[in-house]
Amino acid sequence: MTTTVVHCSDIHFGRGFLPECAEAFVATVKTLAPDAVVIAGDLTLRARRHQFHAARRWLERLERPLLVIPGNHDVPLYNLALRLLAPFRNYRMAIGVSTTQTLELPDAAVFGINSVTPFRHQQGRISDADMQQSMEWLDRVTAPWKVVVTHQHFYDLPGHRRPGAFPNASVLLEKWASRGVHAVLHGHTHYPSLMDARRLFPGLPRPLLLIGSGTLSNRRVRGPGMRTNSFQCLVFGSEMLSVTCHRWHAPTACWVADTTETFDRAFFASGV
Ligand SMILES: [Fe+2]
Ligand SMILES: [Fe+2]
């Protein structure tokens, strides 16, 4: 038995949205038939009501269990009153819960955190209360694989700095690693990435994968190598976790499975 989770991000309904990518994604999700779809924020470009309603209609068509968190583009940028007084009002009206949420799947427990603060346009922030809640929940769940989801990222690739990385990344990751988290999923960078966090933060008590999803359907693809739209697909098995990056193939207007990396459970135990 395995548990499959599709992880995508930065859909960005609004200017620069690529409908062909989002449309083909609905069909690809039907084919992959994952146990759940995780969406790591930035559903819209400008947090407008009509953008959220379009996002809502698209989410419903995925017809899978969903875990959706907001991104920094899901709070108003220019309407300062709304931004400061009710930043998640439009999000909540169309999408639902904007705070922490969880997903318990047969082989994986997933904790999603709202890492957006209306006081900063880009920079990620995890409140003490949300961190505490995540740690207590992670202590309670018994699933063999544990996953956390945020919008912002934890490090910048050399030459590809994206504003917004958590300033206290090592502190956050140390807390989750100590709770047995195997992977942290994020978006925001608009390029796919996969790295053992110990390469960046050698003090972590055990291996922890940082898995970034690129932008699913926004024109602004970034990062090193092939600049294409992308998403990630995770398969949790009894002995291993595999992560496949799917890339947009414009000539055929199809999503295509690209690279797969596999990690066995011994890898995650190696630091304990
Ligand atoms: Fe984005
Ligand atoms: Fe973002």
Which amino acid, 71?
G
| pLDDT at residue number 271 | 62
| pLDDT at residue number 272 | 55
Rounded alpha-carbon distances, angstroms, from residue 85 to 80, 119, 125, 203: 8, 11, 18, 39
| pLDDT at residue number 83 | 85
Task: Tell how far the Cα of 42 is from the centroid of ligand 2, in angstroms.
Answer: 6
pLDDT for 270 beyond 80: no
So what CATH class is 3-269? alpha beta
Ligand nearest to the CA of 222: 1
76-105 pLDDT, tens per residue? 988 888 888 889 999 999 999 889 999 999
With H, G, I as helix, E, B as strand and everything else as coil, classify residue 208. Answer: coil
Task: Tell how far the Cα of 97 is from the centroid of ligand 1, in angstroms.
Answer: 20
Looking at 96-254, list the stretches that DSSP marks H as alpha helix, in order from N- to C-terminal side.
128-140, 169-178
pLDDT for 223 beyond 70: yes
pTM exceeds 0.85: yes
Task: Tell how far the Cα of 118 is from the centroid of ligand 2, in angstroms.
Answer: 13
Task: Tell how far the Cα of 188 is from the centroid of ligand 1, in angstroms.
Answer: 5
What mean pLDDT value characterizes the chain?
A: 95
Ligand nearest to the CA of 43: 1
For 7, list phi and psi in degrees, rounded to 5.
-120, 115
Average pLDDT of span 248-252: 97
Task: Tell how far the Cα of 266 is from the centroid of ligand 1, in angstroms.
Answer: 34
Task: Tell how far the Cα of 29 is from the centroid of ligand 1, in angstroms.
Answer: 21
Q: Which two tokens stand for residue 44?
A: 């819209």
Query: Residue 149: which of 265, 40, 260, 22 has the closest Cα?
Result: 40
Query: Residue 116: which of 59, 71, 83 has the closest Cα?
Result: 71
Average pLDDT of span 218-231: 93
Q: Which residue has the higher pLDDT, 8 or 79?
A: 8
103-138 pLDDT, tens per residue? 999 999 999 999 998 888 889 999 999 999 999 999
12-49 pLDDT, tens per residue? 999 999 999 999 999 999 999 999 999 999 999 999 99
| pLDDT at residue number 63 | 93
Ligand nearest to the CA of 220: 1
| pLDDT at residue number 195 | 95
| pLDDT at residue number 113 | 98
Task: Tell how far the Cα of 27 is from the centroid of ligand 2, in angstroms.
Answer: 25
Task: Tell how far the Cα of 204 is from the centroid of ligand 1, in angstroms.
Answer: 28
Task: Tell how far the Cα of 48 is from the centroid of ligand 1, in angstroms.
Answer: 15
| pLDDT at residue number 224 | 87
Which amino acid, 80?
L
